[in-house]
Amino acid sequence: MNQGLQIAISNRLKISSPSSKVYITIQYLNEGKEVEFIDSYSPVVCCNRDDVLMTRTGNTGIVITDVEGVFHNNFFKINYNKKLITKEHLVNFLRLEQTQRQILIKAGTSTIPDLNHNDFYSIYVVIPSIAEQEAIATALSDTDVLIESLEQLIAKKRQIKQGAMQELLTGKRRLPGFEIKRGYKHTEVGLIPEDWNIVTIAEVADKITVGFVGSMAHLFTNQGIPLLRGQNVLENKLDLSETKFISDNTHKMWKKSALQLGDVVMVRVGYPGTACVIPYELGEANAASLVVVRPSPKNVDSKFLSMVINSKFGKRQIDSYLVGGAQQVLNTTTAAIFKLPLPNKAEQTAIATILSDMDAEITTLEEKLVKTRQIKQGMMQELLTGRIRLV
């Protein structure tokens, strides 16, 4: 096992040369950072695609393979006996949840965990025959192929949905029964059909208010009325995995922030402007530090409004309205002047239905992806510990 090379930023090259190699850092691998090159190195700090690297400090235990270049000092290269263990088996075993727990324990609990060589080599590895290692790797690889195909399909569906949003929410594409009648006109939000209007949220809302702002931890209860906060609001859907609750009495006192079916809630800080609709199944709830818009049901489909706010052109508009310094905030005044292209109510509902169906399809695929990843984790646990044998 040997550590990598620490190179000052000033000594890293932006352009490769005949003798240079890619400088491998965790930022480059995880964040797609601009490629940097090193032209002065020794063979011991170089790796090829057959090598296995692991981070030793900070985010200790990240396992990397199939890369080639000069690796950073935060990595060490694991020297292993290829006659006893395959690269795939070693990588899978190191990524196993129980192995990762051992690594973190041995790295220590200081502010910056650091795994030394002796502690790493004290970890026991379950090594079946090479034939069984290869069979295990094949089984896990087949699952990886399914996971990758699901990830690619989800990415494709998201792109299709983004394109559909851009066209449908601006009237560039009309659904059957709502064909163009008179052509298009130029407006402050772009080109829209002549039979559409540009309105502000204030013009089509029965109510615009802000949920309770301030310290509220002392009001939380184990059960009762849901209290929605910014972290519960995703684009066009609620995440109730971290829901807080308040008592019925507190709910009654907060009449201003009480929510109803069809209300559109918008995040104030963090990811300001992110919006979703309050669904029927939520029942009564309150809003905390959210802008609450109650659209006029005669004029606006709530889902349509939420989708316009979350669209690319909607986000650009929201960003231009935000106030504050380092932490920008959305308030009721800026939400009220938000401009949206508005067809008649029937076309709004038709557009919202099409886009909601796309969202539902993506959600189903995402749930399948989560389950497939869980299945793989279960397979790894059983196969890599010998509880299930393939040979």
Give the helix, strand, coil percentages of the chain, each rounded to 5. 40, 20, 35
Read out DSSP for 66-88?
A: S--EEEBTTEEE----TTT--HH
Q: Domains in the chain and their CATH numbers? A: 2-124 (3.90.220.20), 128-176+346-391 (1.10.287.1120), 197-342 (3.90.220.20)
- Give the pLDDT confidence score for residue 258 in this predicted structure: 85
- Give the pLDDT confidence score for residue 190 in this predicted structure: 85
- The single-letter DSSP state of residue 289 is S
Other CB atoms within a 10 A radius of the CB of residue 358 amount to 17
**In this structure, what is the dihedral angle of CA atoms 292, 297, 299, 300, given to the nearest 10 degrees?**
50
Which pair of structure tokens corresponds to residue 22? 């890619």
Phi, psi angles (nearest 5°) of residue 40: -130, 110
Q: Do 318 and 362 form a contact (C-beta atoms < 8 A)? A: no
CA distances from 69 to 19, 41, 46 (A): 11, 10, 6
Q: Which residues of the chain have pLDDT under 50?
A: none
This prediction has a pTM of 0.81
- Give the pLDDT confidence score for residue 115 in this predicted structure: 85
Which residue is associated with the tokens 């807080």? 244
- Give the pLDDT confidence score for residue 284 in this predicted structure: 77
CA distances from 217 to 30, 39, 116 (A): 35, 55, 42
pLDDT of 93-127, one tens digit each?
999 999 999 998 888 866 677 888 888 888 888 89
C-alpha 246/C-alpha 224 separation (Å) is 6
Amino acid code (one letter) for 112: I
